[in-house]
């Protein structure tokens, strides 16, 4: 889980899980040098909302090799783009497994990735495949970077801009003694009825033992976690 960073102060107005009207449309050109438009039997559409730009790539695995670059483009926010896809027979000697990656720009979040196939139109009449991926953003506090759903053949991927990394209380991208100290400062202030100064996402990150309290027990768990990291081990909150 990677801690998110907001694009700008104006993002707050855009963090709505509602798709705004798209004001730009692009038909992308493949970078694969042996692309044959006569073999096209599928299309991918990627739609981004206001406030979310991304680098979009499509690669494919085939008998000749893996991760062959097929498309690569920087897609602006509030934009929709289409990518024509060649079909294949899908036998041992002629297949392609396509891999779509949408990596948001300006945000330290995990990219969205998905694999798909497109049949050969000659061998599969009336088999033209349409894949639609619509992206949204919201301000839900979540430990997940994004969540995906499928309805009526359309994929919807919602990025949660207020996600958190468990244990990373000060949101500097790592879990260490500074986070334990931040928990103790909060606990001390809260014990006297004062505001501990943590945002909602920081509170979620601080409550590592899941008891809905932020106290010395959480600080101790964070220090134990950090100790395992420092000695080259694989830490766990379990």
Residue 129: predicted pLDDT: 95
Q: Give the whole-angstrom CA distance, residue 89 versus residue 20.
A: 38
At 167 the pLDDT is 93
How much is the pLDDT for 11?
44
The CA-CA-CA angle for residues 20, 4, 169, to 5°, reads: 140
Structure tokens at 139: 């301000």
Residue 220's pLDDT is 95
Structural domain boundaries of the chain?
9-163, 177-230
Nearest CA among 119, 112, 118 for reference residue 134: 112
Give the pLDDT of residue 25: 73
Question: Which of 202, 201, 213 is CA-nearest to residue 161?
Answer: 201
Asked if 90 and 117 touch (Cβ cutoff 8 Å), the reply is yes
Tokens coding 155: 């994929």
pLDDT score of 9 = 37
Note the pLDDT of residue 126.
Answer: 85
In this predicted structure, what is the pLDDT of residue 4?
45
Q: Write down how long the chain is.
A: 238
Place of tokens 């995990």: 110
Mean pLDDT, consecutive 10-residue segments, the chain of 238 residues?
40 44 73 95 96 95 95 96 94 92 88 96 87 92 89 93 84 92 93 88 89 93 94 89
Confidence at residue 13, expressed as pLDDT on a 0 to 100 scale: 43
Per-residue DSSP letter, 91: B
The CATH number of the structural domain formed by 9-163 is 2.60.40
Task: Report strand pairing: 54-62 vs 146-151.
Answer: unpaired
The pTM score is: 0.68
* 184 closest CA partner among 173, 171, 170: 170
At 16 the pLDDT is 45
Instruction: Write down the pLDDT at residue 141.
Output: 79
Three-state DSSP class for residue 50: coil
Q: Say if CB 28 and CB 79 are below 8 A apart.
A: no
Q: 3-state class of 238 per DSSP?
A: coil
Structure tokens at 132: 């639609």
């Amino acid at each position: 889980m990677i801690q998110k960073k907001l694009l700008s102060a104006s993002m707050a107005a855009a963090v709505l899980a509602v798709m705004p009207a798209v004001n730009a449309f692009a038909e992308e050109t493949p970078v694969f040098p042996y692309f044959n438009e006569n073999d096209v039997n599928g299309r991918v559409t990627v739609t981004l909302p206001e406030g979310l730009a991304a680098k979009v790539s499509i690669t494919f695995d085939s008998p000749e090799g893996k991760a062959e670059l097929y498309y690569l483009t920087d897609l602006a926010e509030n934009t929709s783009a289409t990518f024509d896809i060649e079909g294949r027979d899908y036998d041992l000697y002629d297949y392609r497994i396509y891999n779509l990656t949408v990596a948001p720009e300006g945000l330290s979040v995990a990219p969205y990735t998905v694999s798909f196939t497109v049949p050969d139109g000659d061998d599969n009449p009336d088999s033209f495949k349409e894949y639609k991926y619509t992206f949204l953003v919201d301000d839900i506090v979540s430990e997940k970077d994004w969540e995906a759903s499928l309805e009526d053949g359309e994929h919807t991927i919602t990025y949660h801009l207020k996600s958190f990394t468990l244990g990373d209380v000060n949101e500097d991208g790592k879990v260490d003694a500074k986070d334990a100290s931040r928990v103790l400062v909060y606990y001390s202030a809260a014990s006297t009825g004062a505001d501990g100064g943590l945002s909602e996402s920081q509170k979620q990150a601080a409550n590592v033992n899941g008891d809905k309290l932020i106290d010395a027990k959480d600080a101790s768990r964070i220090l134990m976690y950090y100790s395992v990291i420092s000695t080259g081990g694989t830490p766990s909150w379990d």
